[in-house]
Amino acid sequence: MKAFSFATDKGKVQIGLELDDTLYNFSEIWETYKQVKSKGRGPRLDFLQIMVEADFFHLETFQEVLETLQKIRPISHLKLRDPITYLPPVGRPQKVLCVGRNYQAHAEELGNTVPDEPVFFSKAPSALIAHQEKINLPKEVGRVDFEGELAIVIRKQAHNVSAKNAFEYIAGYSILNDVTARDLQRADIEAGRPWFRSKSFDTFCPFGPFLVPGEAIKNYRNLELEVKVNDERKQHTSLSQMIFGIEEIVAYISKHCTLQPGDVIATGTPSGVDQLNSGDVVKCHLSEIGVLRNPVGQ
Ligand code: ZN
């Protein structure tokens, strides 16, 4: 069971649901459920981010709605037809944070040492784009790389949480491509400057399409991440290879800054990062979560 955000033909934002390879309008399913359950009373659920912030984004919520309706009202008329205009699952996170050097082979390929505590940095939320949207290569910045990563979305405010309790603060899992202007990043690091700008160009943060409830993933370390450019495999790893696990990452970051509901954290990229060129198509595939596909242009 996977949720997503999409825009209707009239530009209205809605929540979608993927069930057994079929896509439904969950916002409308929810309205039907409210009619059955409480004569239409209750909040509207049009934004996935609001569903997360209201602490409604649980596997159980979806299951309860579907099980209730299955017995009384069919939902087949609420199926969505292609093409779907996807939006980033969470459109306005307060923060997009990324973990660097979280796979040994990737740290080595860029000539970096393996850190003894998580290295984290931020990307501008204005860089977010959806599944199928185009990554724009800015002129005169040199090499631009893809970095496929598992991303998590925060469920509730997290300050100084322990690794043991960290999963309570995770609403769900998704995919993020941490696109990076590599030459610019190297030059800024050498000059002792922050590398924020190399990570934050518009369109440098493809995200989605699906947000899978945390409860639906038994063990994220069993997931496999694969990135293909024009169908050629570039990155491939088991998430068991992460140096710092999600629980340590959430605990560590929350000691430095309070995480808010809807915040996004990308958990690092494995080895195999490479350059993107105009005309390429980059696909980040994460087992049990889905495929994030983006064309590249200028
Ligand atoms: Zn990254």
pLDDT of residue 182: 97
Residues 75, 63 share a domain: yes
- Please tell me the total count of domains within the chain: 2
97 and 73 fall within a common domain: no
Give 63 Cα–ligand 1 centroid separation in angstroms. Answer: 34
Ligand 1 centroid, distance to 74 Cα (angstroms): 43
- C-alpha 268 – ligand 1 centre gap (Å): 5
Q: What is the Å distance from ligand 1's center to 158 Cα?
A: 22
Residues 61 and 125 occupy one common structural domain: no
**Listed residue (190, 168, 195) closest to 180, CA to CA:** 195
Distance 27 CA to ligand 1 centre (A): 33
What is the Å distance from ligand 1's center to 265 Cα? Answer: 10
CA of 233 to the centre of ligand 1 (A): 18
pTM over 0.75: yes
Asked if residue 152 lies in contact with residue 172, where contact means CB atoms within 8 angstroms, the answer is: yes
Question: How far away, in angstroms, is 115 Cα from ligand 1 center?
Answer: 14
Indicate if 102 and 49 belong to the same structural domain: no
**Residue (of 148, 108, 119) closest to 249 by Cα position:** 119
Query: What pLDDT is recorded for position 298?
Result: 84
* Domain identity same for 145 and 74: no
Last residue of a domain, one of 86, 118, 144: 86
Query: What local confidence, expressed as pLDDT, does residue 178 receive?
Result: 98
Among the three residues 55, 86, 117, which one is the final residue of a domain in this structure? 86
Residues of the domain holding 22:
2-86
- The dihedral built from the CA positions of residue 268, 124, 276 and 291, taken in this order, carries a sign that is positive
Which residues keep their CB under 5 angstroms from ion ligand 1?
98, 147, 178, 269
Q: Is there a single domain that holds both residue 164 and residue 240? A: yes
Identify whether residues 43 and 186 lie together within a single domain.
no
CA of residue 8 to ligand 1 center, whole Å: 32
**How far, in Å, CA of 149 to CA of 241, rounded?**
13
Whole-number Å distance between alpha carbons of 298 and 293: 17
What is the CA(121)–ligand 1 centre distance, in A? 9
Co-location of 129 and 51 in the same domain: no
**Buried b vs exposed e over 249-266: b needs ≥16 C-beta within 10 Å?**
bbbbbbeeebbebbbbbb
Looking at the structure, do residues 181 and 207 belong to the same domain, yes or no? yes
The CA 106 to ligand 1 mean position distance, Å, reads 10
Q: How far is the CA of 17 from the centre of ligand 1 (A)?
A: 28
- How far, in Å, from the CA of 178 to the mean position of ligand 1? 5
Spans of the chain, pLDDT less than 50: none
Q: What is the DSSP letter of 115?
A: P
The last residue of one of the domains, among 43, 71, 86, is 86
Same-domain pairing of 133 and 221: yes
Distance 2 CA to ligand 1 centre (A): 24
Same domain (yes/no): 75, 167: no
Residues 117 and 27 reside in one and the same domain: no
Q: Return d(Cα 175, Cα 108) in angstroms, integer.
A: 23
48 CA → ligand 1 middle, Å: 24
Q: Which of helix, strand or coil describes residue 188?
A: helix
